[in-house]
Structure 1
Amino acid sequence: MPVSFDDYLVVGISSRALFNLEDANAVFEQDGLEAYRDYQLSHEDEILQPGTGFTLVQNLLSINTITNKKLVEVIVMSRNSAETSLRIIHSLDHYGLDINRMAMSGGETISRYLDAFGVDLFLSCNEDDVNQAINSGFAAGLVYNTDRIYEQPADQIRIAFDADAVLFSPESERIFKQKGLDAFVENELLNEDVALKKGPLAKFLFCLSNLQQNTKNLHLIRTAIVTSRDKNTGKRVLKTLRKWNIDVDEVFFLQGAGKTEVLKSFGANIFFDDQDIHGLGASEVVPSARVPYKKGQEPK
């Protein structure tokens, strides 16, 4: 019978999000597909340097080694062709990453295969693929700064989330955008006991929480919410998490202050936000990804 991955946390990651492929990508953008093909073939035996998502993947896979049980599955999902993918395979072997499943779409959109592989989180540098993933109901993030080297903790997986339009639906944020801060605050205080609806990364948080519970004695995973809400509007966040039966380790209500220094101190392996103004700033100090709005849900 085929192997089932239903009980695993399944992360799909593009080759550019896992490795630093910026030189090769520059060749593709400047000179086209044939030049890219020739470049990859001529550099086939050169090991790729780690990219933005490398430490996150490395730490996630270490759970399987520490627990001596398969709990995490990582899949490389790339628009490369079979012919140009050997460099990726050589690099996976060089770093000893226990990644054996790959999807090489030969230039076609990779998002159509997320369901087939049972992906719980998809990380990519291709905006079209990430948008299509979000619109299809998958947790996904567009990775920033793929050529940046980060100093990251290797002893624990640390994942941070913005709140509205990431873990929760953008409904409250829409009120803020359309009617202003006072209307937003009034709405959140009035609906303090009404749980927020699930957002694009809510399902991933549930999967992560389940994995955290299965390894709780080892303290391998730490989660945080870093939000621009203040403590008063934050009460609805806390009560929603309680109704979801989700324990988040750390919560920061910043009342509009910058998130960068908090995320640096937290030491996030990755931070998810829906806005460039926060995500780009955060990406200067920790790996970060933007979570696009689902089609038709972007606050105006």
Structure 2
Amino acid sequence: KSYELLERRLQRVKDFYKSMKERPAELGFAVSRKWSTRLRTFNYRLERFPVFPAGYFDLNGYKGVVITSATADPEDLYYTLGIVGNYYELPHSFPYERVEFVVYGVSPKEKKEWEECLRFAYKRLRTLYDKVLVLLTNKEQIELFKGEEGLAIQGEDRLSFLVEALRRGDIKALVGLDSLWFGVDVKGRKGLLMAKLPFDSPEDPLTYHRIRYLREIGEEPFEYQKRKALIKFKQGIGRLMRSKEDGGTIVLCDRRIFKFKEFKQAVEELGMRIKYIKHA
């Protein structure tokens, strides 16, 4: 039985390698690993996935599909789900005009100055608010906040537990990555620190293969990357306003918001005025 199991696994590896050599445009590949405490070594995982899953979902059994989101994007829905239809945009009812949106004139490419700005912006928000959310874009940035008093980092406990601790006031700040941009609800006045515009890393397997696919079909990959980052940026802004009674300050340490006009426009369309500060 052990021999048969090994034979099947080797065959799967061979099939995976054959698929990679053929490089079908619509498929992506990834190799990941996870530490096994039982085996005291790494388990490796081979993954083959559709680059854009449109066409892999059978929607024929539905008379209609209704999708609601504050950041719904028709083009993104078409690529990822293959759904087309009518698109309606409704006005929001939150008083964003009460929100201060601050942009510091630094760039993530100027690493030392940018990191100093992040620390300064965090400390400023902590002096203003008892609740602060820090939205980062990669794990390396977490190191900048370790050791800060009253702060919790995503991954130290269940995210739902950490969010509840912030709501109760047991902690004063919560730092994290993707899950904090999308799925956190903390009501009241608070500070929100965005490390930078949330472009996905081109080294991420899914992003890498989508860039490759778009190039092969003659489309501009950066337009896709920018659209995805804009959706995430809007979701991040939404972490501040969860009710009509909410408010506070949003700080972005990335002057590229003035280079990519879509991001600046998204802020202004909500009714916020951008306050630009050249140096932190």
Report the TM-score, using the length of structure 1 for normalisation: 0.28
The higher-RCO structure (CA 8 Å, 6+ apart) is: 2
Name the larger-Rg structure: 2
Report the TM-score, using the length of structure 2 for normalisation: 0.29
